[in-house]
């Protein structure tokens, strides 16, 4: 059965990274938040930009990734998020340059592909510093690259009003595209960066005041009515509901996995402990949504501040983040390390991604080069390399049965890390889709899987099904031995 939703929407894209997409996205979200109910999305496998969206809107931002999901499922995820938040406007922030996709030579996973698949009009942000008429050549090149491109408007960033006024009639007449306005060089907003990208919102002083001032600036320099007109011109978002619904054995297993039985015969939700603090905060919101949709209770805990894991857990899920900035505090929390270690040794299912994988080592080198004792479940040390070790998409194939599925199950993943491991053991083979480069990854100990790859459950929902089934069996085992 086809579902259809008329949702005004635009994507903020650019010729490349560093063009001002995130700042302009946040400014526009602030403007639309003040007069309605916008929802936001981030193109591609990014954790930090959605944190800024959430900081502005106060509701989760979600990722849309055309490498992870086929077109119909991508549209359904977007549509469901819009419906669940009663959104009256949707804004997508693009990734890298508009046409930059898989391996730097493919359109797969690009902002362009997402805009075409979701029929979302694009506003191209052009960093015009040091340019004038040359901006027209740049814009024309992007418009002529592919005939189905979705570019419908242009925002000139880091230019003066005079430059914008002179170029606007030329661009609109010769290129046939709307000029939304300009953003001048300004000191009212500044997003500092570190090795994984922008610093997190909570770390930036007076961020809310900065965003509010910047939004007021955009209200003066951009034609917001043009943005609305372009957004309102978006075609209805359509998707096949039947094709993205859990069916057959997948649905049956999933329904079982979400619940365990109390002694009185009633059902109770599985409790999954999710690490959430300044050291571990990189999660796809859709991953957590998928777990919740199967009857799971998410229980947050802090490896930095809490003394132990929450009680009555059926499983652990720990994401990436910045453990290297908190090495001493993580190391000194002996009771939490012991709690996690004992839980895994007793057979509790545990999924530890990237930064959490580093935390599970015997030792971890922090950002200053100092080594600290960590949980001790992964042999060896997580070491600082001073360079990007692996970046981009890969496809994993399991070489043995694990909590994510049987031997041979495949799943697309993403990696982005400046640390490496001395642990050479791995139960998955990773393959780069464009180059065919292969390596072993993900350490398995009992029912723990720990490695640098980040998983997106909607890319292969069997992952979540098998993980929750493992949690259910562990929960039943605990009840049987009590």
Q: Is residue 275 part of a domain?
A: yes
Per-residue pLDDT, 196: 67
Per-residue pLDDT, 251: 39
**One domain, residues 381 and 441:** yes
How do strand 350-353 and strand 315-318 relate by DSSP bridges?
A: parallel
Number of domains in the chain: 2
Q: In angstroms, how far is CA 382 from the centroid of its own chain?
A: 23
Per-residue pLDDT, 266: 44
User: What region does 91 belong to: left with phi over 0, alpha with psi -120 to 50, or beta?
Assistant: beta
**One domain, residues 369 and 230:** no
Which of 239, 258, 292 terminates a domain? The answer is 239
Question: Which residues of the chain are modeled with pLDDT < 50?
Answer: 247-258, 260, 263-266
Q: Is residue 374 part of a domain?
A: yes
**One domain, residues 295 and 433:** yes
**One domain, residues 188 and 273:** no
**One domain, residues 224 and 295:** no
Which member of 43, 350, 354, 441 is catalytic?
354
Per-residue pLDDT, 255: 45
Per-residue pLDDT, 250: 45
Q: Is residue 213 part of a domain?
A: yes
**One domain, residues 145 and 193:** yes
Q: In angstroms, how far is CA 408 from the centroid of its own chain?
A: 26
Which of 181, 205, 239 terminates a domain? The answer is 239
**One domain, residues 180 and 265:** no
| φ, ψ dihedrals at 13, nearest 5° | -120, 175
Tell me the pLDDT tens digit for each residue of 202-234.
888 899 999 999 999 999 999 999 999 999 999
Integer angstrom CA distances of residue 459 from 155, 258, 382, 433, 435: 33, 19, 28, 15, 21
How do strand 410-417 and strand 378-384 relate by DSSP bridges?
A: unpaired
Q: Is 354 a catalytic residue?
A: yes
**One domain, residues 33 and 55:** yes
Per-residue pLDDT, 249: 40
**One domain, residues 274 and 233:** no
pTM for the model: 0.93
> How far apart, in whole angstroms, are the C-alpha atoms of residue 436 and residue 433?
6
> How far apart, in whole angstroms, are the C-alpha atoms of residue 361 and residue 21?
36
| φ, ψ dihedrals at 453, nearest 5° | -60, 145
Q: Is residue 214 part of a domain?
A: yes
Q: Side by side, which strands form the sheet with 454-455?
A: 438-441, 428-431, 390-398, 410-417, 454-455
Per-residue pLDDT, 259: 55
User: Which CATH number does the domain housing residue 283 bear?
Assistant: 3.40.50.880
| φ, ψ dihedrals at 369, nearest 5° | 85, 5
Determine how many CB atoms are found less than 10 A away from the CB of residue 272: 24
**One domain, residues 187 and 317:** no
Residues in the chain: 482
Please, which residues bridge with residue 193 across strands?
A: 198
Given a contact cutoff of 8 angstroms between Cβ atoms, the answer to whether 303 and 336 are in contact is yes
Per-residue pLDDT, 261: 53
Q: Is residue 244 part of a domain?
A: no
User: Which CATH number does the domain housing residue 88 bear?
Assistant: 3.40.50.300
Sequence-distant (≥ 6) Cβ neighbours of residue 135 within 8 angstroms: 126, 128, 156, 167, 171
Nearest in space to 417 (alpha carbons), one of 387, 437, 395, 439: 387
**One domain, residues 292 and 399:** yes
Range of the domain at 463: 249-481
**One domain, residues 471 and 365:** yes
Which of 239, 272, 301 terminates a domain? The answer is 239
> How far apart, in whole angstroms, are the C-alpha atoms of residue 392 and residue 417?
10
């Amino acid at each position: 059965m086809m579902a259809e939703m008329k949702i005004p929407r635009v994507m903020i894209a650019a010729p490349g990274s560093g063009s001002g997409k995130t700042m302009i996205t946040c400014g526009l979200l602030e403007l639309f938040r003040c007069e309605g109910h916008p929802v936001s999305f981030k193109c591609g496998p990014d954790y930090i930009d959605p944190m800024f969206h959430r900081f502005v809107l106060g509701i989760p931002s979600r990722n849309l990734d055309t490498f992870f999901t086929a077109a119909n499922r991508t549209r359904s995820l977007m549509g469901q998020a819009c419906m669940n938040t009663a959104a009256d406007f949707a804004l997508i922030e693009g990734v890298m340059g508009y046409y930059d996709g898989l391996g730097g030579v493919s359109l797969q996973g690009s902002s362009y592909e997402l805009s075409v698949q979701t029929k979302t009009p694009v506003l191209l942000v052009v960093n015009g510093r040091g340019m004038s008429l040359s901006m027209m050549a740049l814009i024309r090149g992007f418009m002529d690259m592919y005939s189905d491109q979705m570019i419908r408007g242009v925002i000139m960033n880091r230019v003066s009003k005079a430059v914008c006024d002179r170029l606007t009639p030329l661009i609109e007449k010769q290129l046939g595209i709307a000029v939304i306005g300009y953003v001048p060089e300004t000191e009212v907003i500044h997003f500092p960066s570190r090795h994984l990208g922008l610093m997190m919102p909570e770390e930036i002083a007076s961020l809310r005041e900065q965003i509010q001032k910047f939004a007021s600036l955009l209200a003066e320099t951009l034609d917001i009515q043009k943005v609305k007109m372009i957004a309102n011109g978006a075609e209805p978002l359509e998707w096949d509901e039947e094709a993205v619904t859990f069916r057959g054995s997948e649905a049956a297993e999933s329904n079982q996995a979400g619940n365990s039985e109390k002694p009185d015969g009633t059902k109770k939700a599985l409790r999954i402990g999710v690490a959430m603090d300044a050291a571990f905060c990189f999660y796809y919101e859709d991953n957590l949504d998928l777990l919740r949709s199967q009857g799971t209770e998410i229980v947050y805990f802090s490896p930095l501040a809490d003394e132990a894991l929450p009680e009555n857990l059926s499983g652990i899920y720990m994401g990436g983040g910045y453990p290297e900035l908190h090495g001493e505090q993580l190391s000194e929390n002996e009771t939490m390390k012991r709690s996690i270690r004992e839980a895994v040794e007793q057979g509790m299912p545990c999924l530890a991604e990237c930064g959490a994988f580093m935390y599970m080592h015997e030792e971890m080198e922090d950002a200053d080069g100092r080594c600290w004792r960590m949980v001790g479940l992964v042999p060896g040390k997580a070491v600082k390399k001073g360079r990007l070790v692996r970046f981009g998409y890969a496809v994993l194939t399991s070489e043995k049965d694990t909590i994510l599925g049987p031997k041979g199950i495949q799943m697309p993943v993403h990696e982005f890390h400046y640390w490496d491991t001395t642990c050479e053991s791995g139960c998955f083979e990773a393959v780069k889709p464009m180059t065919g480069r292969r390596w072993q990854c993900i350490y398995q100990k009992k029912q723990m899987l720990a490695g640098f790859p980040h998983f997106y459950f909607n890319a292969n929902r069997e992952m979540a099904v098998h993980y929750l089934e493992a949690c259910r069996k562990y929960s039943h085992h605990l009840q049987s031995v009590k």
